[in-house]
Structure 1
Amino acid sequence: MDSNEKKKDKLPLIPKLCYGVGHFMNDLCASMWFSYILLFYVSVLKLNDMFAGYIMLVGQIADGLSTPIVGILADKQNKIPICARYGRRKSIHLIGTILVIISFPFIFNECLGCADSSMGVNFAFHAVFVIIFQFAWACVQVSHLALIPSLANRKTQRTELNSIRYAFMVLANMLVFVITFIFLGVEAFEDKGDTNSTTTVTPTTTPLPTFLVADEYKKTGSIGPEQLDSFRNVALTCIGIGTIFSIIFHVGTKEPQYCPAKDTTEDEKSTNVQKAIRMRKRDWFKMRTFYQVGAMYTATRLYVNLYMTYIPLFVDDTLNMEIIFIAVVPMIMHFSSFLGSFAMKPINRIIGRKRTFSLGCCVGLAACIWIGVSGQSSYFGEWAIYFVAVLLGIGGSILLITSLSITADLIGENSEGGAFVYGFMSLLDKVSNGIVIMVIQKLDNDQPMYYREVLAYACGVPCIFGILVTLSMYGSRVGTRDRGLTVVEIVVEVVAEDKDDIVKHRSESKDNPAFESDGHI
């Protein structure tokens, strides 16, 4: 590789950061969606558990169905002149951003003009905006992910972009909890004078068995209808901040011009055996690794989304901690996740992607076991919950970054099908999450300890499943195309890829000595 090609392969820092913030508003909204949607509908709007579960299921199914459609559209050549010049993926990203801005504030609000109407009317009102929001969210997510193979030519660069993207995702999550802490903290401070003359607030150091025997603490917690304005203000603030970062993305990220893939000649095939094989959509379904990576990604999203959804309910209902801790505990969790992301590049380089993913599963499983074994102990609400939050966050960081990097490896040189692959992965993720959350809500027995069992089992099982999937992948190389190749050609291709990876890695290290120790990127 000559110096000009090396220069061309490098992605400057500013474009990398501009790309990283392109999913920031989606991450803000997703953090609110998974962390507070059930709590908002059940405790603030006082709707039943099944209603909240159905809303969640409708949203996840809408998102799941939207992602493959968006993926197919994002992979096609856009023949509208202005969209073609702007970028086929960035055009879809812009449409999704606008729809998110319009729809999301209505989700965290009461039914406007119909707050006192029947459950069916309330459901219809919120379901409409949830469906619009989830379609818009899918547009932003798939188009943003599909840009990675187009912007990055090497595995190290793809890991780098995924790490930057994840770092901003964690910052977005933390920002949501900081904003929530501010709004709920101000409200709690204003109501502080009334607590002495009306109700007695249970301190966070109260041993768990003491408040478990008191009926007034069951399924009530500290969140109520009076927090409606706070949650609505948090949603509006997130949209305002997210809009600013979306503008930065669209101004600072230049999408490479779309060039339809051409069939390789016999000379090209003979001189470059590892040339990317053009993958049609049906060809992906013939690859075993396509399903294995899909299962890995689904396990990751189940683990992360379930602990994000039920940690606030666990803190509020099971541990009965004060109102601000539904923001404090998730904030600790995501800050730990952010710190964990710094170690992703060296760990991936030293032990490989599959072992890194298994490590993340083990860390997450350790947190789930701790919750299951000691979740009802008196010390848990005093200090153990914070250590569990750290383990959950680090485990989620490892799993998310690694699973996205493996998905990018699966796509490899076939960037023309990147959006379809991410769309399919997201379909598996969204539908499975919606069904699991619906089942959890249906089985809710109205006991505070129920959420301890949810975190222990519903989050622990995906970790075990992820380990089993990873074990099934040993011996296979993600991204190797075997369509139409003989066994000898496959072996030659794998050997060639290994040599090329080593040469590229040495070249990058020699060209940029700081590359090996440059933070988490």
Structure 2
Amino acid sequence: MDEKPRKNEEKMGIKYQEDEMVLPWVNRIGYGVGHVFNDLCSALWFLYFLLFLGDIDRMSGQLGAVTLLIGQIADAIATPVIGVWSDRGNLGCISRIGKRRSWYLIGNIAVVVTIPFMFSPPLGIISIPNEWLPFYLAVFVIIFQFGWAAVQTVHLALATDLTPLESERTLLLSLRNTFTSICTLAVPCIFLIIQKLTPGCEEQFMPKDAYKFQILVGVVVAIGVSCSLFSGFTMKETSDDHLDNERLAPETNRQTERRSYGQIFRQLDLYKVALLYTGTRLFGNILQTFVNLYISKTLRLPQDAVASIPLSVYTAATISSIIAERMISLIGRKATYFCGMIPGVCASIWMHIGPLSLDPSFFAYGVCSLYGAASSILLVTAISQTTVFIGMDIGNGAFVFGLMSFCDKLFCGLAILVIQSVKPRGDSSFYKDALAYTCGASAIVGMLAILTIFLPSRTGASNASETASNPDAVDS
């Protein structure tokens, strides 16, 4: 007769524990802005780096792609190494501020000291042979990507460190993606203002326009450093895995154990999640990399278009990121991903067909906005699915995200190099087809991958036996 009251008391106890695990809004916002510097630099990297190398440094498209590939490979190698180190190692006395926050500090320092050199003529060198410029830039690019990878990896892992509640993690990641959209919106907006305040915005870019990019970098560094400082002081990580397990115990009624690397690599779902994450990231990165080349080389629009059209892309992305988290809670991850795939594939079909009788500017605004909305929904869903795979094994959180990022960076860099290498001379429609085929295929691959993933909705991959006995616990 005492069983029912006891069960009610246990449920109430779990509810109280969950309430205690809900983060204050200052910590949520602190986490949300913690990746702002990275996001601003990422927008610079993908939106304007190839454009800067081609129009300002006069580097060939293939050499520019090689330089970008060097950075992507450096990022791909650094990410899992930093993931392992931040999960299981320490940085000596610096680790006193936290195993994640120590890497967060080092990563931000590496980014702030290198990115100004990447958007400037060679330091102290009047002229340098075109074929040697990638080697000069590679030094700064590698250090930059090391720092960028450190911040990205530990910031993603902090979402699982800060709270064991899946709903709270999804909220944190949605905030992160909202600020990501705002940042990618801010960069072209700032660049548009710079162009309107300086002469030559109605012309094509020339080497004399280098100062415009340098002003943009200066503004990005100022905003990014401010946000990183605020985040560093408001994010409170848990430094002991045993304490994490104790926090999780009331919700799961058992201790959670860290999986070994062998156990992780033996899980088939790891490769499915990696395919989902890589396809989704490839969609967004190819869009960011080639949208401005499409605008300037294919449509032949003036300078201000390379700021105003990406602005429409990220306006759509910002709006869709706000509703993505709610969609996941209402209809599940698979249905949400499908809702993101449809506009992505439709945009690719529209891009392939072309503007027809539409004005090229109006066409570019429309199709690129559709791409932006799709990209944001796909990204929120893919990252959320990755946190479900991690589940309560937060001791391996950075390692798993590191593996995801390794695949993402490597394949993205190779894809950009292949696209630039096969580009025929004088083919003005090439970048149109590159966007249409690559983005459309990436969205479809991601959809196929997520359809094959069946993970417990609360406890992640470590609870396979519970999933087998309770089909309702499987992620939808």
TM-score, normalised on structure 2? Answer: 0.91
- How far is the alpha carbon of 1:259 from its aligned partner? 2.9
| Residue 492 (structure 1) aligned with residue 469 (structure 2) | yes
1:113-154 per-residue CA deviation (whole Å, 9 max, x = no partner) reads 234122343222101000000000000000100101111221
Q: Distance in 2 between matches of 1:235 and 1:71?
A: 28
> 2:414: which partner in 1?
435
Distance 2:52 2:274 in 1: 31
CA gap 1:331/1:78 in 2 versus in 1, 3 angstroms: same
* Letter matched to residue 238 of structure 2: P
Task: Name the counterpart of 1:5.
Answer: 17
Q: Which residue of 2 aligns with 1:223?
A: 205
Q: Distance in 1 between matches of 2:325 and 2:177?
A: 12
Counterpart of 2:381 in structure 1 is 402
Residue 144 (structure 1) aligned with residue 155 (structure 2): yes
User: For 1:90-489, what aligned pairs fall within 5 Å after superposition?
Assistant: 90-187=101-198, 190-191=199-200, 222-260=204-242, 276-375=256-355, 377-446=356-425, 447-473=427-453, 477=456, 480-481=460-461
**Counterpart contact for 1:99–1:136, Cα < 8 Å:** yes
Contact 1:174–1:334 (8 Å) recurs in 2: yes
Residues 28-64 of structure 1, C-alpha deviations (whole Å, 9 max, x = no match): 0000100011111011111111110100110000000
In 1, distance between residues paired with 2:245 and 2:226? 42
CA gap 1:321/1:481 in 2 versus in 1, 3 angstroms: closer
Distance 2:245 2:20 in 1: 24
Q: Given residue 49 of structure 1, which amino acid in structure 2 is its aligned partner?
A: G
Counterparts of 1:10 and 1:253 in 2: how far apart (Å)?
14
Tell me how far apart the structure 2 counterparts of residues 380 and 404 of structure 1 sit (CA, whole Å): 37
Against the structure 1 CA distance between its residues 358 and 385, is the aligned structure 2 distance closer, same or farther, given a 3 Å change threshold? Answer: same
Distance 1:56 1:123, change over 3 A: same
* Aligned AA (1:44): I
SS in 2 for 1:236: helix
Checking the alignment, whether the CA contact within 8 Å between 1:273 and 1:492 is kept in structure 2 is no
Task: Tell me: CA distance 1:259–1:236, structure 2 relative to 1, closer, same or farther (3 Å).
Answer: same
Report if the CA contact (8 A) 1:358-1:466 is conserved: no
In the TM superposition, what whole-angstrom CA distance separates every residue of 1:219-243 from its partner, at most 9, and x where no partner exists? xx71121211101111121111100
Aligned counterparts of 1:368 and 1:313: Cα–Cα separation in 2? 16
**Cα distance, 1:387–1:128 mapped onto 2, change above 3 Å:** same
Match of 2:7 in 1: none
Distance 1:143 1:37 in 2: 25
1:195: which partner in 2?
A: none
Structure 1 residue 85 displacement after superposition: 3.1
The amino acid that maps onto 1:384 is F
In structure 1, distance between residues paired with 2:217 and 2:347: 30
Kindly indicate whether residue 44 of structure 2 is the aligned counterpart of residue 65 of structure 1.
no
- Segments of 5+ residues of structure 1 without an aligned counterpart are 193-200, 202-220, 502-521
Shift of 1:175: 1.2
Under a length normalisation based on structure 1, what TM-score does the superposition of the two structures give? 0.83
Q: Give the aligned partner of residue 63 of structure 2.
A: 51
User: Pairwise CA RMSD of aligned residues?
Assistant: 2.4
The change in CA–CA distance for 1:477 and 1:262 in structure 2 (over 3 A counts) is closer
Q: Could you tell me which amino acid in structure 1 is paired with residue 69 of structure 2?
A: L
Asked whether the 8 Å contact 1:358–1:470 carries over to 2, the reply is no
Percent of paired sites with the same residue: 31
Q: Output the CA distance in 2 between the equivalents of 1:404 and 1:364.
A: 18
Q: Which moved more, 1:277-286 or 1:396-405?
A: 277-286
What is the identity, as a one-letter code, of the residue corresponding to 1:76?
A: R
User: C-alpha separation between the residues in 2 aligned to 1:409 and 1:452?
Assistant: 36
Q: 1:366 to 1:121 in 2, by over 3 A?
A: same
Over alpha carbons, which structure has the higher Rg? 1
Measured after TM superposition, the shift of residue 161 of structure 1 is: 0.3
Unaligned runs of 5+ in 2: 1-11
